[in-house]
Amino acid sequence: MDREITEKSQRYFMTSVSMITSNGSKGQNVMAAEWTMQISYEPMLIAVFIHESSSTLKNILETKQFGVNVASEDQTNSVNIAGGYSRKEIAKLDISNAFKLSKAKKLNIPLIRGCIINAECRLVLSKKIGDHVIIVGQVVYIRHDASKKPLVYHRGKYFRIGSPIDSFRQEVKINSDLFDLFSKCANGKFVFKCVGALIKSKNTLLVIRDTEPSLEIIPYFEPTRGHDYYDSLKRHLKKSGLLLSLKPKPFLKRLIFKNDQRIQRVNFILFHGAIKKIPSNFKWKLIKQNSLLRALI
């Protein structure tokens, strides 16, 4: 690969910045690390990538413990000092106007106050990968400060997190009967995921016939996690008495159902189909007369 292009492209990754603290026979130390991430929930594991000549790495390999201090947006000065100097040059944590320290709860390491996260870790793995060494620590104690916001690093500069970006969902107002049906199926899920078939004929869609017209909806079901949607839908339709040709290419509809003050998020994975003859438990329904049908096409 072209080295110049590679080096420029690398700057477009975005990361948080952590300050990795350690202790050892040559004293306490701190370094800045962009490549820091949680890699497991249970047990909780954090990975950090460190250059093999680092004084921090020597401390960690000696003591088998380290601290992960995720910098907040008002800690650029601390991060610059942690990343701009070597322990071989100066005892960075002794710089009086750079760091405010606190004692760890479980381990013999310093922690840095004012961070969004402080985690105490025991070393479980170290391995050289490329030009860095990955160290993985199991968290033995962790705390966070909800009043803080993380520092973001991108293209050699620091940034703050901006305002949230809404995840677009099409809003659909539906009747209370239909809302109750989907709410019951969702059973408290933040997003109810379902799979359905769209069989269209001119200005109508095929729906399941119901004694209550307000409950008539396209054939759909809640898929089993880890099972192929297309194959599962074909089996579901066959059990329902629908013999049709189903196109294998799906499309997604991300909807938010509303009924008065109630809302329910629903994701539809839909497959187009065609049918020659419909069984008695299905019917054609005008699309324009139903807000949900209009949203699905």
Which pair of structure tokens corresponds to residue 183? Answer: 């709410």
Rounded to whole angstroms, the Cα distance separating 168 from 176 reads: 23
pLDDT tens-place string over residues 228-248:
999 999 999 999 888 889 999
Cβ(219)–Cβ(234) under 8 Å?
no
| Residue 6, pLDDT score | 86
pLDDT tens-place string over residues 120-141:
999 999 999 999 999 999 999 9
pLDDT tens-place string over residues 167-188:
789 999 999 999 999 999 999 9
pLDDT band at 197 (very low <50, low <70, confident <90, very high): very high
Q: How far is CA 256 from the centre of its chain?
A: 20
Q: Using CB atoms within 10 Å of the CB of residue 130, give its burial: 0 to 12 exposed, 13 to 18 middle, 19+ buried.
A: exposed
Element (H, E) at 6: helix 3-10
The pLDDT of residue 1 is above 80: no
Domains in the chain, CATH or no CATH each: 10-159 (2.30.110.10), 170-296 (3.90.79)
* Share of residues in the chain with pLDDT > 70 (%): 100
pLDDT tens-place string over residues 248-286:
999 999 999 999 999 999 999 999 999 988 889 999 999
Cβ(110)–Cβ(101) under 8 Å?
yes
Which pair of structure tokens corresponds to residue 250? Answer: 């799906």
Rounded to whole angstroms, the Cα distance separating 162 from 226 reads: 35
Residues 6+ apart with CB under 8 A from 179: 257, 259, 262, 264
Rounded to whole angstroms, the Cα distance separating 67 from 19 reads: 8
pLDDT band at 3 (very low <50, low <70, confident <90, very high): confident
Element (H, E) at 175: none
Rounded to whole angstroms, the Cα distance separating 19 from 111 reads: 9
**Nearest by Cα to 67 from 29, 97, 12:** 29
Rounded to whole angstroms, the Cα distance separating 177 from 212 reads: 9
Which pair of structure tokens corresponds to residue 136? Answer: 């993985």
pTM exceeds cut of 0.85? no
Give me the torsion for CA of 223, 225, 227, 233, rounded to 10°.
10
